[in-house]
Structure 1
């Protein structure tokens, strides 16, 4: 049996993920390579206690497979067998959630998730944060990150499907259970955000990387860009109102977002002080 390090396995997973992206999205030579999705400049940390909630930049921690039960429930075939006839409400995968439709989960997974990502983001759909009673067992099965009262189970969103173009919201943890997702971030107030918001209104995130990103990079306007591809077992944290866009790197992706309670976050910061800020060590 071959023995490989975790770093080697991560590189192999990323190589397979980018290859899957090329196949899924039918990348053509004239659109360039998948190089943007191979870059990672978000800090990866080793968690040694409660995760810090007030940081200046996003970070990634590896918390292992504590969510093995939910991961098993979200395997495509099992999810279809258990919940294929349950209603879901996919929306347009744009910078704002709109165009919400109601359909059977089976129709979404077997139909919409098999389509090539369209350039016009309004023609793509994803299931984000289902909160109906039928979905409660999935939310209840999720083992929250170690972040105290700020991580409220009522703020857990189980998501299946496409990534979302550039947008922003409050602080959150994101954990991938199936597939791989590429996250790109810009800090609040970055000078490129205004132009990006104008570009992205009717443009998918992957097409932004193909068509608009190269020019912005040539102009030196993406110096503050932070990005990385998240793998199963890894948890990403990002501070409030960091602009971000997401691309799925695998045909089937399932992940969980935990949106932080702002009041509880402030209270935890006041009580924990430097103790929470020091809970991470560079890996």
Structure 2
């Protein structure tokens, strides 16, 4: 009975927080700061919610990545699956909402349902703790806090351009425990030759407005947006971007991206819920979450051995 009451209390807190966030987003209040980790996110000089940036989260953003509908993907690749190490990024989508997860079997509605803001705390054990990583290029630092605390702070905070990524915390990359794997057990793997449970690693993430990971590289894979919008920026391996690893990806968009000539702009696109991006092997990439609750799953493949 006590656990049931606590769970209902946490749900009430989350719903109240969500209403509070919606209220301040329409007012003139200062952006609410996060208390997670370093006090960097609670500086007194936070810009007001109504102040304009050069690169706005709410704006319609450029997309120069090839978009392929799932039914055409199987025509493009005769085998019906993406070949290993495809040479450019792809955005894969479906015009049929019943297949928004891009699986062959139709929509994996269960994953979308259990990872929603309303259900995520009841999906995982009571008093569940999450391990956060710093948002810089190296994800060098870790801290562990209750999931409910992270959700409340994510909903009531925004990563602004002047925040430092080595002092900004993010849930991604440390979701390999049994609890996380049980939650992802019904995940529908993306369409590729090595996208199977035995040959891939799944990583779940949650981020808030303006959060994301600074430029970095790794092997190939896919990233599916489940809730919220995520903006991706990428460069091929030979075109390493100039950046400070301890500044946020939003800072790079604000101070570097906006000054680039047309011919130097990155590959980029915004993913909406139900869309996923294929990121090629060793491509430089960074991400910026555009909404207050962004949930996603990345599939890291083992295509190096094929």
Contact 2:55–2:258, Cα closer than 8 Å, also in 1: no
Q: Give me the TM-score of the superposition, normalised by structure 1.
A: 0.76
Q: Does the 8 Å contact 2:154/2:292 carry over to 1?
A: no
Match 2:227 to one of 178, 181, 191? 178
CA shift digits 1:44-72 (9 cap, x unpaired) = 01322212333221011115332211010
Aligned to 1:38: 61
With over 3 angstroms needed to count, the CA separation of the structure-2 counterparts of 1:30 and 1:243, relative to structure 1, is closer
**What stretches of structure 2 of length at least 5 have no aligned partner?**
1-24, 33-46, 75-79, 101-106
- Rate the CA distance shift 1:56–1:35 in 2: closer, same or farther, 3 A: farther
Which residue matches 2:3?
none
Q: Which residues of 2 match residues 125-136 of structure 1 at below 5 A?
A: 125-129=169-173, 130-136=175-181
**Runs of at least 5 residues in structure 1 that lack an aligned partner in the other structure:** 1-18, 267-283
Matching residue within 212, 216, 237 for 1:167: 216
Residue 132 (structure 2) pairs with residue 93 (structure 1): no
For residues 221-247 of structure 1, give each alpha carbon's deviation from its aligned partner in whole angstroms, at most 9, with x where no partner exists.
624x11000011112101111101100
Find the residue that maps to 1:182 and give its secondary structure.
Answer: strand
Distance change (3 Å), C-alpha of 1:35 and 1:242: farther
Aligned to 1:121: 165
**Aligned residue among 144, 148, 152 for 1:106:** 148
Q: Alpha-carbon deviations, 1:167-225, whole Å to 9, x = none?
A: 111001110000010000001011x52x22xx2x221111111112223x14x6624x1
Contact between 1:183 and 1:247, CA under 8 Å: does it hold in 2?
yes
Structure 2 contact 81–193 (Cα < 8 Å) conserved: yes
Q: How many residues align?
A: 237
Cα displacement (A) at 1:77: 1.6
Q: Find the counterpart in structure 2 of residue 155 from structure 1.
A: 201
Cα drift, residue 30 of structure 1: 5.5
Calculate the TM-score normalised by the size of structure 2: 0.70
User: Structure 1 residues 126, 179: closer, same or farther in 2, change over 3 A?
Assistant: same
SS of structure 1 residue aligned to 2:238: coil
Cα distance in structure 1, aligned partners of 2:237 and 2:177:
33
- Aligned partners of 1:53 and 1:239 also within 8 Å: no
CA contact (8 A) 1:166 1:205 kept: yes
Shift in alpha-carbon separation, 1:141–1:54, aligned structure 2, 3 A: same
Measure the CA separation in 2 of the matches of 1:240 and 1:263.
Answer: 9
Contact 2:54 2:258 in 1 (8 A): no
Equivalent position of 1:56 in the other structure: 87
Q: Which is richer in helix? A: 1
Match of 1:234 among 263, 275, 299: 275
Question: Over residues 126-148 of structure 1, what are the superposed CA-to-partner deviations in whole Å (9 max), with x where a residue is unaligned?
Answer: 11131111112222121101223
> Does residue 205 of the first structure (1) align with residue 244 of the second (2)?
no
- Once residues 113 and 166 of structure 1 are traced to their aligned partners in structure 2, the CA distance between those partners, rounded to angstroms, is 24
Q: What is the CA RMSD across the aligned residues, in angstroms?
A: 2.5
Distance of 1:27 and 1:204 partners within structure 2: 21
